[in-house]
Structures are given as structure tokens and as C-alpha cells.
Chain A
Amino acid sequence: MTAASSAPARSPAWPLPRSAVWLWATQGLLGTLVWGAVLTAALLFLPTDDAPLSALPWAGPLLLGLYAVGSIAVQPVIRHRVHRWEVTDEAVYALTGWLTRTWTLVPIARIQTVDVTRGVLQQLYGLASVAVLTASSKGTVQVPHLPADVAERVAADLARRAEQVRDEAT
């Protein structure tokens, strides 16, 4: 059984920009730093002689190292390979996820609002996220980390087209 045969839906056409990888890696680095600080504090202030915590001096750094490799080197690359998006004539389509994959398809006629958000890190890399919202709380298409100007253009275009073809939208 190959991976292709068990994919339930096609991949959308467009990949995310390369800089998204760096953004995810930066997030992984920040997460590693936070956990490193927590571990350092634990090693400094907790008594590690007793039985339940005696493994901490060697297991802690080991786990932290694994987390660092996973979140900085492995996960961003896989995410970039998985994440894809596409806007067709009648729908918005995105594939997100890392291990568990989620395909979301929303017809343009059912779009209610389009949000563009730029986080602090995203601004550093000139990226922005687009969220396409519908009347359903589960029916939101998230496209993370697009180039900021592309995101703005796509959002404006979707909002305009949704206005034209909107039926009741619920």
C-alpha cells in the first residue's frame, strides 16, 4: 500500500515560501530555549538526590536535545513539505499539519470573513497568515506563513469575490 493510494484527497497546488521553514525553525529554537531555561532552573533548585528526580540530570538534557533536533531541524522541513494551498475559481483549499494531515475545502460562496494576521516573528520574515472563516466553527481554512503582500492580495480578492457570489452563506 503506497502513500499515494491512501491519500484521501489531492494536494493543493501551491507550496509555502521557503522562509516559512526558517520561521518554524525559529519557533522551535524559541521553544527549545524556554524548555532549556525551565530545565536549568529545575536542575539548580530542585533536589535531585531523591529517587523520583535522580534521573533528571541525564534524562533532562537528553530529552531537551531530542526536542531541539525535532523542533528545529525535522519538523519545519516536514511541515513545509506537507503544507500547501490553492485558490480555485470556486473554492479555497488548503492542506495543513505535520503528522496528522488536514485538508480543508471551502467554496467561495460560503465565505463569511477573511482575516490576515501578522505575528511578531512573521513580521521578522515578512510573512502573514490568512484565515478564511465560514458560518461553521469547524470550517475555517488556515493558510499560515504566506508572503505578506500575497496574503493581502489573496484576502482582498477572496473578500471581493465572496461578496459577488454570496448566497445565504449558511
Chain B
Amino acid sequence: MSGPALAAAPRRTSARIVLVHTVTFRQARQVLGIALPVGAAIGFDGGATAVALLAVAATLASLAFAAVSWWRFTYTDGPASVVVTRGLLARSTRTVPRDRIRGVEVEQPLLHRLLGMVRVRIDAAAGAATGEDEEVVLDGVGRAEGDRLRAGLLVRRSAAGPTPEPPAPPAEEVLARFDRRWLLYAPLVGGYLAVPLAALGALLRLVDEIPRGLRPEVDGPEVTGPAGAAVAIAVAAVLLALGSVVGAALVNWGFRLVRRGGSLVAVRGLVTRRHTELEVDRVRGVTVAAGLGMRWVRAARVNALVTGLGAAQRRGQLLPLGPRVLAEELAARLVDDPGPLRRHPPAARRRRLARAVAPGLAVAGAGAVAAVLAGGPAGWWPLFVAGLVLAGLGVPVALGRYAALGHAAGPRSFAVRSGWLVQERAVLQRRAVVGWRVRQSPFQRRAGLATVVACVGAGSGGYAAVDVAAADVVPFARAASGAWAGALEPERLSGGRPSPPRSR
């Protein structure tokens, strides 16, 4: 037990959250999914009154659910850990030690903002045992309390850490600021193009849940002839582009990346304001990624690779969308630039070509064999032609993939790049490497190539230099991490070897 001075009292979230949760059916949502079909099965013969009554009943039920869950939810941010208690009958207590907290995120959806509240997500880098639920959410605390938690949870820990630092006045430095013109990139980014489609999907699902009798009758516009189809496609494309711009604006509006003392703070969002805080100390590297469309207009996005960060794709975003020049500049400010990338040997290009063309040739071969066996003017020749076309299309893809390959090792960092559909360059600090993995398939062995993966306890876990010359593997690993990687060196063969441990 901690002393009386340290024993923090359990706190509650703001009662106003009950209102938000009632309106959004946060707790009652699962019940609603069952209630609607049941209601539909019983039938709404009473017409408008019955529907109104049902709506009132559902709202009351939602209010009850929201009130109970608010009443039974408390949290304590003690000196050593954050404790969250919840549950009506089965009480569950979740304790997160402070030194496990990797990031604090404050977000403010529209309703929260109207009522002066925020939602705090505490990222507790738990082990694999807890799996998907590795964050603690405090939904509906006051704005001031949210700021207190965001600042306090990360700061107090470093003061209690092994190297206590004097609490210097946190100097703010703006690293990046959103420019509205960047929104024009959005129609070229797969992720944002998906936004209007997802919205459409959600709408369709909602319509599906409404009982048939209550659905309004809407006649779709008649589409006739090729001209009509062309107009429809053009309209759809324009709507898609507009939707992606709107989606990007909603998510990224007013984006700002600030370095404040030992942490990076990213703020963004139009409707839902999101406030993410990362510790600079835990940043092991950055990735600069650009899809096919983004490369075309010289845009890119930057992600931080942070050890033990859950939901890293969302949380680690340092620059969601911006000009490539700025992205590179930002990346270089966080991790030293290791210098220009080295190209991979010509054998790597041959390998890319073989891999991209082989499926098409296989299809063409199968088509030819089938056509010859079937004899006569059978319908197999189109398959042969399709295979050849596929193989032909593979050539530019292969050349693009080869052009993407590269690696470089600098004095304090190294970089690897690969990918064509989404080209990603990862720049990592030397200390990030927790191991090396070298892979060589029989084909690579014949071509004198190998793939070397830097194992990193952040991001995707491994960053690969694909198809490096076999002789370059060890020098690269050594330059990128340290002398210990020299254990891979073939020359050590001649040295005296320790005898293996014997079985007794």
C-alpha cells in the first residue's frame, strides 16, 4: 500500500458523458442490433405512434445503460500505476504500471467538444497475453483533466526513471503544420479513396437494418446507353474524389506536429480532435511511404517507429499527407539521414523480372497447351493471349520494383527501401536493431543474392533489404548495427571454434 500522501482517490468521468452515450447508443448498441429485428418480426401495425413509442423506449434503455456504466466506472492515477474499475455485476479492475505507458492520446469527438469533454486513450504496451485490448480508455473527462493526464502520465514517469532530469520549461518547436493545399493529394491515396466507399457501405448497412415497411421508396435514376453509363462513371469518379478530399479534411484538419520537451505531440481532426503524444526517446526510426499515385505528385507520408506502441499505424503518424520534400526533411530531423541509397545488383533486376513475368508466361503456356490438345478453333487461344499480355504488363512493374530497391548505412543510422504499389523507405537508428535475419531461397542462391532483415522492436518488427548481393550482407549488417554483427562473417570459419555443449 502506498502512503496517505500518495494514495490518489478514485476519480469518476464527467456525468455529461451519460448524455453523449445515450445519444450515440454506445452501450445499448449491441442490444439494439437484436431489438430492431425482433421489433420488425412482431410488426409495427400501430404506425407512427408505435414507432415513436419504440424510439422513446430505446432511448430510455440507452440512458439506463449509459448511466449504469458511468456509475460503475472509476479510475485512479496513482504514483505507480493507473487503475480502472468497471462492470455492474462482474467488477473488473485493470492495473497499468506507469512504466508500461507508451503513449497518451486525447481525442475530442464533436459531441464531446460541445459538452467540454475529451476521451483519453492510454496506450499500455502489454505483452502478447492481452492481445487486442492493450489500451485503457477514459471516455468523458473534463478538458483540463485530460490535459493533466496527458502531461502527467508521461512526465512523472521520466522523473521517477533512472536518470532524473530537472523539469525544464518545455520548449515548443513546430515541426510540421498542415497546409490546406495538401488536401488535393487525397484522391490519389488509396486510404482516403476508401473513405467515401466506407461511408456508403455504412449507409447501406443502416438502411438494411431499418424494417422494410419503414423504408422510403426511392427510384434510382435511369441509366441507358453508353453515353449514360459514361456520364454515370464520370459523376461517380468526381464524387469519389470529392469524398476523399472531404474525408482527408475531416481526419487531418489543422494538423500540427510539435516537439515539446522530450515528446512529440500531434494534433489533428476537424470533427474529432485527436491529440497524440509520443516519447522521442522511444522513437527508433521513421518510415517515409508513398503509394503509386502519391509518387506521381511527389507526395509522401511519415510514420514514427516507436518501441512498444500499439496501433502504431494510427498513433505513429507524424505527417499524414504532404509534399515529399517536407516528408524527407521531417524524417531527417528525427533520425540522421544515412546518405544516398545504394542500388542493388543487376541480378536483383533479373529476379524481379522473372518473378513478375513468370505467372503471365505460365498462363500463356497453359493456354497454348490446352489449345493444342483441344485442337481446332477451341476457345483456349484467348487464354494464351491474356497470359502474354499479363507477362508484358509484368515488365514495367518489375522494373519499378527494382528501381525501388536500395539500402544504405550511415554512421548513426541506416535505411532500406522497397515496394512498388506502396514504396516505403525505413530509416532506422543503429540501436534499433535487436537482431539480423538473412534469408536465401534456392533461386537467390543461384543468383548470388540474399534478403537481409533488420529485426526491430518497433513498427512491423522487421525491415528488409531485398535481394542484396550475398557478399554485401555482412558488411551492411555490420555497418548498420555494430561489431557484434561480425559474427556472421564467413572469415571466422578458420578461427578456433568452441566445442558444442555435450549431452550428459
Chain A residues near B (Cβ < 8 Å) = 1, 3, 5-11, 13-15, 17, 86, 88, 90-91, 93, 99-107, 110, 134-139, 141, 147, 149-150, 153-154, 169-170
- Those of B451-504 within 8 Å (CB) of chain A: 452-453, 455-458, 461-462, 468, 470-471, 473-474, 484-485, 487-493, 497-498, 500-504
Q: Is the CB of A99 within 8 A of B470?
A: no
Contact of A9 with B435 at beta-carbon distance under 8 Å, contacts A17-B503, A88-B498 already known: no
- Rounded to whole angstroms, the CA-CA distance of A105 and B477 in the bound complex is 11
Q: When the two chains form their complex, are residues B487 and A93 in contact, meaning their CB atoms are under 8 A apart?
A: yes
Task: With CB as the reference atom, state the residue of chain B lying closest to A85.
Answer: B500
Closest to A14 in B: B500
Contact of A13 with B503 in the complex, beta carbons under 8 Å: no
Q: Are B448 and A136 in contact (CB under 8 A)?
A: no
Instruction: Give the contact-size bracket for chain B.
Output: 35 or more
Verify B484–A107 contact, CB threshold 8 A.
yes
Complex Cα distance, B434 from A141, in Å, reads 11
In the complex, identify which listed stretch (B70-78, B311-319, B437-445) lies at the interface while the others stay far away.
Answer: B437-445
A-chain residues with CB within 8 Å of residue B453 when the two chains form the complex: 138
Residue B450 interfacial (CB < 8 Å): yes
A9 cross-chain contacts in B, Cβ below 8 A: 438, 473-474, 488-490
Digitize B370-404: 1 where CB-to-A-CB distance is under 8 Å, 0 elsewhere. 00000000000000000000000000000000000
A134 contact from B435, B442, B445, Cβ within 8 A: B435
CA distance A128 to B293 in the complex (A): 51
CA gap between A37 and B503 in the complex, in Å: 38
CA distance A107 to B470 in the complex (A): 22
User: What residues of chain B lie closer than 8 Å to A147, measured between beta carbons?
Assistant: 503
Asked, given contacts A8-B473, A139-B461, whether A103 binds B503 with beta carbons under 8 Å apart, the answer is no
For residue B246, give the distance in angstroms from its CB to the closest CB of chain A. 36
Inter-chain pairs besides A9-B473, A88-B498, 18 sampled, C-beta below 8 Å: A1-B448, A5-B471, A13-B500, A15-B500, A86-B498, A90-B487, A100-B442, A102-B440, A103-B438, A138-B462, A139-B437, A139-B455, A147-B503, A149-B504, A153-B501, A170-B284, A170-B307, A170-B434
The answer to whether A150 touches B501, judged by C-beta atoms less than 8 angstroms apart, is yes
* Chain B CB within 10 A, most for which of A105, A150, A153: A105
Q: How far is the CB of A41 from chain B (nearest CB, A)?
A: 30
A residues within 8 A CB of B253?
none
Please give, as numbers and ranges, the residues of chain A lying within 8 Å of B285 by CB-CB distance: none
Interface of B toward A, CB cutoff 8 Å: 284, 307-308, 434-442, 445-448, 450, 452-453, 455-458, 461-462, 468, 470-471, 473-474, 484-485, 487-493, 497-498, 500-504
How far, in whole Å, are A6 and B434 apart by their CA atoms in the complex?
25
Q: A15 vs B484: C-alpha distance in the bound complex, in angstroms?
A: 22
Cα-based distance from A104 to B452 in the complex (angstroms):
10
Out of B442, B457, B498, B500, name the residue touching A170 (CB < 8 Å): B457
Chain B residues with CB below 8 A from A169, complex form: 434, 457
A134 touches B457 (CB 8 A): yes
Beyond A6-B470, A8-B452, A8-B470, whether A154 also contacts B501 by CB under 8 A is yes
- Which of chain A's residues has its CB closest to B441's CB? A100
Chain B residues, CB < 8 A from A91 = 484, 487
Considering the chains assembled together, what is the distance between the CA atoms of A106 and B433 in angstroms? 9
* List of A residues within 8 angstroms of B440 by Cβ: 7-8, 100-102
Which 5 interchain pairs have the tightest Cβ spacing?
A: A135-B457, A139-B455, A138-B462, A139-B435, A14-B500
Tell me which residues across on chain B come within 8 A of A14, comparing CB atoms. 500
CB–CB A103/B435 < 8 A? no
B448 and A138 contacting across the interface, CB-CB below 8 Å: no
Enumerate chain A residues within 8 angstroms of B493, measured Cβ to Cβ: 10-11
19 contacts between A and B (CB under 8 A): A5-B471, A6-B448, A7-B490, A8-B440, A8-B450, A13-B500, A86-B498, A104-B436, A105-B485, A105-B488, A106-B455, A134-B455, A136-B434, A136-B457, A138-B435, A138-B437, A138-B461, A139-B435, A139-B462
Given contacts A134-B434, A135-B307, contact A149 B503 (CB under 8 A): yes
Q: Specify which chain B residues have a CB less than 8 angstroms from the CB of A154 in the assembled complex.
A: 501
Q: Known: A9-B490, A105-B485. Contact between A150 and B503, CB under 8 A? A: yes
- Contacting pair B484 A90 (CB below 8 A): yes
Could you say which residues of chain B place their CB within 8 Å of the CB of A102? Answer: 437-440
Q: How far is the CA of A6 from the CA of B345 in the complex (A)?
A: 13
> How distant is the Cα of A93 from the Cα of B457 in the complex, in angstroms?
18
- Min CB distance A38 to B, Å, is 26
Q: How far is the CB of B446 from chain A (nearest CB, A)?
A: 8
Distance between Cα atoms of A67 and B54 in the complex (Å)? 64
